[in-house]
Chain A
Amino acid sequence: MDLDRDKLGELYGKVGVGNQTSLGIMGSNRDISVGEIFMIYSDRDGHERVFFFRVLGLENYLRQVDDMSRVASTLMVEGDAYLSGIERNMLLSVGGRMLGYAEKDKKGEWTFKAPRRMPDHLASVYRPMHGTSDESVRDMLECQTDGEIFVGDLQVGEDTLDVPIRIPCKFLPMHVGIFGSTGSGKSNLMMVLIKSMIDTNLDAIRNPNKNSTRISAFCIDPHDEFAKGVDKHGIQHIIEDMSSTTRSNVIGDFYYLTTHRSATTREIGRYAREIRILWSEIRPRDLYSIMEFSPQMSSFIEAQYAASNDDWISTIINMEDSKDDAQGTLKAVKRRLRFLERSPLFIEKGSSILADIYYAMETGRVLVVNTSLMSDQEQFLLTTIITRTLSDMRRALKSSGNLGDFERQAEMRLPRSFFSKVKDKARAFYSKGGMKDDAEVRDPKSLPVIQITVEEAPSILNPELMRGQSVFKDISRQGRKFNIGLLVVSQQVSVLDNVILSQMNTEINLRLGNEREIKACIDNASVNISGFEGEFRVMARGEAIVTASYRELPLPVRIPLFDDIYEKDKQRYKDARPKKTEEHIM
């Protein structure tokens, strides 16, 4: 057998009882915590396997003592009692879940399987140790941990191994959920994800031959802390570390969007743009996605949209109240649109940022959107417009064979004023070669993956709004076709609509607030994590369980502090020439 068992970690105990899903281990009296992962070496019938086991419960066990309470009470009552040689007999009875097992396939590569076998009788149990087990665990779990977007390191109890957990880019369009209560570490996680996306794009720029996927992200920052950072460092520091060339390649002219640029620090302000969206760029559906409209109101809006097209909002707002409006439909619609008039973001006339956002998203850039000064409605409408615009553009692309088709499709789907502005660049983005109408278009899957954050998700991804014509309903079901995914951030799982939950394929489950949310989170997880209730209850800030439908193993993760990984990686942002090798054709 070729597995070096010493590299699995410290020999901890022996498998006692159990079945293919849960096991009881008798181990030495060590300081074990719930959530630790053990590895069980098994060689049953000549099949060398390493089973992964997660501790869910602990019990002190004294050999030769059937009644612990009696011993404890004797020690209490008989003050002179002792326990002879008890150290040797003090064991820990460890119960937990079998997570699956790793074994080598015929090619000699590690594969990971869901639990469907048992380790051998009295198999040895190893406790992974940082510095000893990292490499072997990394190898065995490669198929469960690889990807581009770094989330954190594999957590084994209260310690971590040097086993980075990543999410593959190709699964981002199948939507990611981040669930955690206040103080669970969501902001730090978002910053870690943003950094990882920037790193991925940087690698793609520096290694153009690898044809790596670029990632675009529209990241809502509700507390305006991503750019500046929560503690010492933020995304701004990464941007500042870059040379101007690298910076230009990675973020273009800007990465930070805000409602009031003047309120931004000078450093961040250099890479900031003000968010302004023209009324003409808003479609009725955008509003249906964020607030409820009665059928009468929808009919009225649709009629106005059909008549006035891009000017539908101005038309409605400028309409005089009519005596015919017996049911008050116009008044009600006006009332709902009133916030657009008051909003500094949504403007009737002027210069819009939407086209720049579209360009950024189609060129693999990460945008940090400060929504701290926006109302909820403004934030939700902004997210909706961006999502709908990007998805309509890619939907048009997906439905087209060439650029001519695309243009026709896009004109039908998007506000004319907006499309006319972005048409030329869109044709350039989507063409496989040439700019003529008959030029073949690219598959959306070859374009950057777009990840759109939906913050405070229950406000717009709730069953009531998702019943109607929500943009998010379509994206959640069809986003993968267009390479657009949602990054749903929520304190609650239980109130999210089932459509989005059922389409979500990656969940980063942080500490949750109450039993109901824990249960909802376990029910919603893409792999079976039943029995993990106890662990959710003891999770610390920054600890998470990552579940994904494309992985068999629920991965406990410790998300590092942004400051720490920034300090570690800051040198990588210095300039480095892209090395594109030339292809020599003889």
Chain B
Amino acid sequence: MLEKILAEKFRKTLKLVFSDISNQQDRRDEQEFVKDEVRIREKLLTSIDTYPSDVVLDDDFLVAAVDGSGTESLVTLDDIRVHLLSTSTIVLTSNTHSDSLFSPIDRATLEKEVGEQPHVDAHWHSGVRNDAREKMAESLAEIYPLKDIISIILPFFRDYTDGKITSISDFAGSEFAPYTERLREMRSLISRTQVLTNTTVHEELRKVSEYAAVRHLLESDLCPKYMLLDGAMSIFMHFVRHYPSMPSGFMLRDLCSLARQKNVILCAVSKNHTIPFAHRIANVAKDQLGEGAKWFCHLPSKDDPGGGLHIIEERAYIPPMLAVPYLFSFSRDNRPSRIDFDRVWWLKNVFVAGDPKSTRENEKALFREIEFMSRDARWYGYPVALALAHESCKLSFEDLRIAKEIVRDVRHELGFDDRKTDSYRADYNL
């Protein structure tokens, strides 16, 4: 293959692709961006008034983060796959009263509250029709600590309908009435059955594992000020039924609701954001605020004053439903990242109706703390709690190789047949 990649023809193919992007997508986005640029520059983008590094806060606070990792093919037994899942919960204290900023809280205290860290789990599922959904529902129910399905689904409907639905009886007469029975079981909450590929199943298991870890933390006595998730707060909706097509969507809203009750700021940070023209926003920030400025930019939805941005008009999940995204950059060396907040919380705690100045002050206070927690020299500009959670949960190739060896040992101990458990491709040395 290499000779093809090194050939001029491949270069021409790439040139065509990029020219095409430039001609079509970029040109369209450029046209849309021009419409937004002044608004971005003047209203949405602003710099962060950072804390000095020797600041001593009146009230030090805790920052928690959860991240997960795993593999969908720890072992493949014909059409059965065993998924390996790992999650890690990190809790740091801002600790401005000592020299050691954002140091982890005592491990024993953390593990007493949220269990052994990092957490490792395994689940299996098969490709037999319906079994996949059945087995996945079973796994999700087992993983997520809140077992009552009604309690899981209600926070979504409460937020989505702006409080019109607060109990199961409220479904009567609503657009959701036909689906009431489907909303009582984990199995039927999985409505994207056609796309239950291994990857989708794994993603759902992993996401729910992370959400389970978040819930354990929110239920604990640790009371962090911030709870950081890796990713976005996007919820994939069923196009017809208008509710989440997978249980994780409900669970996310359950977490948002619980976080609000516990006065925890729940947010999700994604490095791999899909914000169009983010690089142009970064350039505007550079021009407007200076080369090394630390900044954030609100990406409003159609419901916000001034309406949504033109550049994201056609993007299905930006802004995510019931979430408020921002683009931010705390380091001149890195590309901007995205952070999502629960919209219900945001409307109550950040947004001040009719008072954009107060809203901006609230935003600045929020980002001031988020920037402060993102100065670790190893991952400068990224929230250190999330980075530590990521480091703690990640499964390296070497970890997986050893895990697979242990699988063989365990099967041998159990007296099962010595079916090969490594990838099929390994049989043919591929």
Q: Which residues of A contact B (CB under 8 A)?
A: 62, 64-65, 71-72, 74-75, 78-85, 87-88
Given known pairs A71-B378, A79-B53, the reply for A84 and B391 (CB within 8 Å) is no
Considering only CB atoms, which chain B residue lies closest to A82 in the complex? Answer: B101
Residues of chain B lying within 8 A (CB to CB) of residue A84: 92, 101-104, 376, 384-385, 388
Residues of chain A lying within 8 A (CB to CB) of residue B375: 78, 80-82
Residue of A64, A87, A88 touching B378 (CB-CB under 8 A): A64
Please provide the chain B residues from 80 to 135 with a CB less than 8 Å away from any CB of chain A in the complex.
92, 100-104
Please provide the chain B residues from 358 to 390 with a CB less than 8 Å away from any CB of chain A in the complex.
375-378, 380, 384-385, 388
Residues of chain A lying within 8 A (CB to CB) of residue B46: none
B354 within 8 A of A: no
Residues of chain A lying within 8 A (CB to CB) of residue B378: 62, 64-65, 71, 74, 83
B53 contacts A85, CB within 8 Å?
A: no
- A411 CB to nearest B CB, Å: 80
- B95 CB to nearest A CB, Å: 9
A81 contacts B103, CB within 8 Å?
A: no
Residues of chain A lying within 8 A (CB to CB) of residue B104: 84-85, 88
Considering only CB atoms, which chain B residue lies closest to A79 in the complex? Answer: B53
Residue of B52, B53, B388, B391 touching A82 (CB-CB under 8 A): B53
B421 within 8 A of A: no
A64 contacts B391, CB within 8 Å?
A: yes
A83 contacts B380, CB within 8 Å?
A: no
B209 within 8 A of A: no
- B397 CB to nearest A CB, Å: 15
Given known pairs A64-B391, A87-B100, the reply for A82 and B331 (CB within 8 Å) is no
Residues of chain B lying within 8 A (CB to CB) of residue A83: 376-378
- A579 CB to nearest B CB, Å: 63
A80 contacts B103, CB within 8 Å?
A: no
Residues of chain A lying within 8 A (CB to CB) of residue B101: 82, 84
CA A64 to CA B384, docked complex, whole Å: 12
B71 within 8 A of A: no
Please provide the chain B residues from 5 to 58 with a CB less than 8 Å away from any CB of chain A in the complex.
50, 52-53
Given known pairs A64-B391, A87-B100, the reply for A82 and B50 (CB within 8 Å) is no
CA A83 to CA B101, docked complex, whole Å: 8
The 4 nearest A-B residue pairs measured at CB: A80-B53, A81-B377, A84-B102, A74-B377
Residues of chain A lying within 8 A (CB to CB) of residue B391: 64
CA A62 to CA B388, docked complex, whole Å: 13
B388 contacts A85, CB within 8 Å?
A: yes
CA A81 to CA B250, docked complex, whole Å: 38
Residues of chain A lying within 8 A (CB to CB) of residue B102: 82, 84-85
Residues of chain B lying within 8 A (CB to CB) of residue A62: 378
Considering only CB atoms, which chain B residue lies closest to A87 in the complex? Answer: B100
Residue of A65, A80, A87 touching B52 (CB-CB under 8 A): A80
CA A208 to CA B50, docked complex, whole Å: 85
A78 contacts B103, CB within 8 Å?
A: no
- A152 CB to nearest B CB, Å: 42
Given known pairs A64-B391, A87-B100, the reply for A82 and B377 (CB within 8 Å) is yes
- A20 CB to nearest B CB, Å: 23
- B221 CB to nearest A CB, Å: 21
CA A64 to CA B52, docked complex, whole Å: 26
Residues of chain A lying within 8 A (CB to CB) of residue B52: 80
- B372 CB to nearest A CB, Å: 9
Task: Name which of B103, B104, B377 has the most chain A CB atoms within 10 A of its CB.
Answer: B377
Residues of chain A lying within 8 A (CB to CB) of residue B100: 82, 85, 87
B377 contacts A75, CB within 8 Å?
A: yes
CA A80 to CA B374, docked complex, whole Å: 10
CA A479 to CA B375, docked complex, whole Å: 72
Residue of A71, A85, A87, A88 touching B377 (CB-CB under 8 A): A71
- A69 CB to nearest B CB, Å: 11
- A494 CB to nearest B CB, Å: 47
Residues of chain B lying within 8 A (CB to CB) of residue A71: 377-378
Given known pairs A84-B101, A84-B388, the reply for A78 and B380 (CB within 8 Å) is yes
29 A/B residue pairs, CB under 8 Å, sorted by A: A64-B378, A64-B391, A71-B377, A71-B378, A74-B377, A75-B377, A78-B377, A78-B380, A79-B53, A80-B52, A81-B376, A81-B377, A82-B53, A82-B101, A82-B376, A82-B377, A83-B377, A83-B378, A84-B101, A84-B104, A84-B376, A84-B384, A85-B92, A85-B102, A85-B103, A85-B104, A85-B388, A87-B100, A88-B104
CA A72 to CA B391, docked complex, whole Å: 19
CA A564 to CA B342, docked complex, whole Å: 75
